[in-house]
Amino acid sequence: MLRLITIEQFGMTKASEERVVKISLTNNNGMKIELLNYGAILMSALVPDRNDILRDIVLGFRTLQEYESDAYNIGAIIGRVAGHISNGKFAVDSREYELGLNAPPHHMNGGRRGSLSKKLWNYELLDEGNGVCFTCISHDGEGGYPGQVHLEVTYILTNENEIIIDYRASTNKSTILNIANNAYFNLNGEGKSSLNDHIIQLCTPNYLPADENGFATDLLDNDNNQLDYNHDFCFEIDELNTSRKIRHIA
């Protein structure tokens, strides 16, 4: 398998003046993804279209300063828990923990302190395959979460133009964990147009209904109901963006 990996300096962090690098992975088809060891960010994905023209399909910034000031954690690994925690409280082993309310009155995406998206990760190129493994430590009590957690996030670019993201973690204490990559995609190319013409399939047997605050209330089977998207479908958004519809196309 041919692989082309380059590493270059991307900048220095403002607070600690640590070196941030950009790692580029290119496959046999010319597809390339760019990654940062800051936040283990997926910065770009240049994908050949049907005419072999490369398009960047991932939303991203051009400078480290923009990523450092970004409140939306674009392209980054978020956590320890991706999403909202109601009122910033949870219990583990009969003990209640309180987190910072960075999305008042709730906690979101690991909070401001200890968020994985603002950490400088260690990295190591894979011995085999076209990939890189990022690692970091989230210390006991960091961000209000219990337990020291060792995290590994591996990005692999295949010759089938797949981006594989593998998450692994270990801890020395009972805790909660739900990390995710926070990339935003547009197959037409970054900033080109809406998603209305995208054909999407979700291969999932379940869905989570939400309450008025957007929090999941249950895990339900989606067989034979309107939320079964194991077939192709499109989004439809009206001109005023006042409503969002789903159109089945297969």
Q: Would the pLDDT of 170 be above 90?
A: yes
Fold of the 4-193 domain: Beta-galactosidase; Chain A, domain 5 (2.70.98)
The candidate with the shortest Cα–Cα distance to 197, out of 189, 205, 206, is 189
Average pLDDT over residues 43-53: 92
**CA atoms of 42 and 36, how far apart (whole Å):** 7
Every domain of the chain and the residues it spans = 4-193, 194-250
- pLDDT-derived band at 39 (thresholds 50, 70, 90) equals very high
Average pLDDT over residues 169-177: 98
Quick one: pLDDT at residue 180? 97
- pLDDT-derived band at 236 (thresholds 50, 70, 90) equals low
Quick one: pLDDT at residue 244? 47
Which of 145-159, 189-203, 219-233 is the least confident region? 219-233
Average pLDDT over residues 73-82: 96
**Strand ranges, E, within 93-139:** 95-98, 107-108, 122-125, 131-138
The fraction of the chain above a pLDDT of 90, given in percent, is 67
**CA atoms of 67 and 206, how far apart (whole Å):** 34
Quick one: pLDDT at residue 248? 47
Residue type, 231: H
